[in-house]
Amino acid sequence: MNEPHKVIAKQYLQKIKAFKTYECNPEDPMSNSHLSWMLHVISCEIYDPAQESETKMNRWLGYVQGVMVAKGMIQVNQERDRTRAIFNGK
């Protein structure tokens, strides 16, 4: 079974056209390419999952979501409702 953070990361990569290319760019951590790189790491499409802890990947997902909200790519209430079942919340 997929971990929720991986499921959400993969959904963003498929849904958001701005995330088609990725590049680790710590000098511009809010750039779409850097966010895309983070999502690729979270979804285990690049890097060995054993290198990254689940708690770190959840923090990264929260960061990406926060930047996406700031950029107007997603809305908090809609994402909360959309992802509730994935995270098994009530």
Tell me the pLDDT tens digit for each residue of 14-57.
Answer: 999 999 999 999 999 999 999 999 999 999 877 666 777 888 99
pLDDT tens figures, 1-15:
468 999 999 999 999
Report pTM. Answer: 0.89
Residue 1 in tokens? 């079974």
What are the residue boundaries of the structural domains of the chain, listed by start?
4-83
How confident is the model at residue 44, as a pLDDT?
83
Nearest CA among 63, 76, 46, 61 for reference residue 9: 61
Query: Do 22 and 55 touch, CB atoms closer than 8 A?
Result: no
How confident is the model at residue 26, as a pLDDT?
95
Q: Does position 79 have pLDDT exceeding 50, yes or no? A: yes
